[in-house]
């Protein structure tokens, strides 16, 4: 694949954009967790997995495009990125539906049993009893959407970008 043709540039820029965008989305989630104090529930953590896998895959796609690998290699990696974002969209739609009480969430995601308290001697016991937040309660909403709702939007956009980069027209 030559980077001088439109298809090669499309794959190169698509892989670069997707690597950065996927890292940014999961970075924002981690930022809300560590700096904003939002503790993720079980489903929130599962929604991050496609990003954790997708970022390295998109970096490999970027290297393949830069190294002049056959277009089928880069296209295949971009298609894997699209599939990962489609899986992420499914997880996010499921989680958003649980938050809106459209369907039940997993029984293992029933909510917090409270904050840590007591003496230092009981700290290990207390750590074993603290659970993540309930999956059916949105930590917050912005413009009517929860974090999982916004993740639906992000994954669908990234899915579309990955598809376009992998299989879009070559400009001819």
In a domain, 111, yes or no: no
How many C-beta atoms lie closer than 10 Å to residue 171's C-beta?
9
In a domain, 100, yes or no: yes
In a domain, 130, yes or no: no
Res 134: pLDDT: 79
Distance, CA of 66 to CA of 155 (rounded, Å): 25
pTM of the prediction?
A: 0.80
Q: Once rounded to an integer, what is the mean pLDDT over residues 127-153?
A: 76
- The answer on pLDDT for 124 being more than 70 is no
Residue 93, both tokens: 């739609």
- The answer on pLDDT for 11 being more than 80 is yes
Q: Once rounded to an integer, what is the mean pLDDT over residues 99-103?
A: 85
Distance, CA of 98 to CA of 95 (rounded, Å): 5
In a domain, 51, yes or no: yes
In a domain, 17, yes or no: yes
In a domain, 64, yes or no: yes
Angle at 51 between CA 50 and CA 56, to 5 degrees: 105
In a domain, 131, yes or no: no
Q: Once rounded to an integer, what is the mean pLDDT over residues 118-145?
A: 67
Res 1: pLDDT: 46
Res 60: pLDDT: 97
Q: Once rounded to an integer, what is the mean pLDDT over residues 101-121?
A: 65
Q: Residue 92 sits in which domain range?
A: 6-106+136-167
In a domain, 10, yes or no: yes
**Burial class (CB within 10 angstroms; exposed 0-12, middle 13-18, buried 19+) of 116:** exposed
Res 120: pLDDT: 58
Tally of CA atoms within 13 A in the half-sphere of 160 that contains its CB: 5
- Which of 52-56, 99-103, 152-156 is least confident? 99-103
- The answer on pLDDT for 55 being more than 70 is yes
Which tops the pLDDT comparison, 47 or 126? 47
Count structural domains, the chain: 1
Res 5: pLDDT: 65
């Amino acid at each position: 694949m030559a980077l001088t043709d439109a298809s090669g540039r499309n794959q190169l820029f698509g892989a670069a954009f997707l690597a950065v965008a996927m890292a940014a989305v999961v970075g924002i989630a981690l930022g809300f967790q560590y700096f904003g104090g939002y503790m993720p529930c079980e489903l929130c953590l599962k929604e991050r997995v496609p990003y954790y896998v997708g970022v390295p895959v998109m970096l490999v796609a970027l290297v393949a495009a830069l190294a002049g690998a056959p277009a089928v290699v880069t296209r295949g990696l971009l298609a894997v990125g699209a599939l990962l974002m489609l899986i992420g969209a499914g997880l996010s739609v499921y989680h958003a539906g649980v938050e809106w009480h459209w369907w039940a969430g997993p029984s293992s995601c029933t909510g917090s049993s409270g904050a840590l308290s007591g003496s230092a001697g009981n700290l290990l016991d207390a750590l074993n009893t603290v659970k993540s937040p309930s999956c059916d309660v949105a930590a917050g909403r912005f413009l009517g959407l929860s974090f999982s709702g916004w993740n639906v939007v992000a994954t669908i956009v990234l899915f579309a970008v990955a598809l376009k980069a992998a299989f879009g027209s070559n400009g001819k």
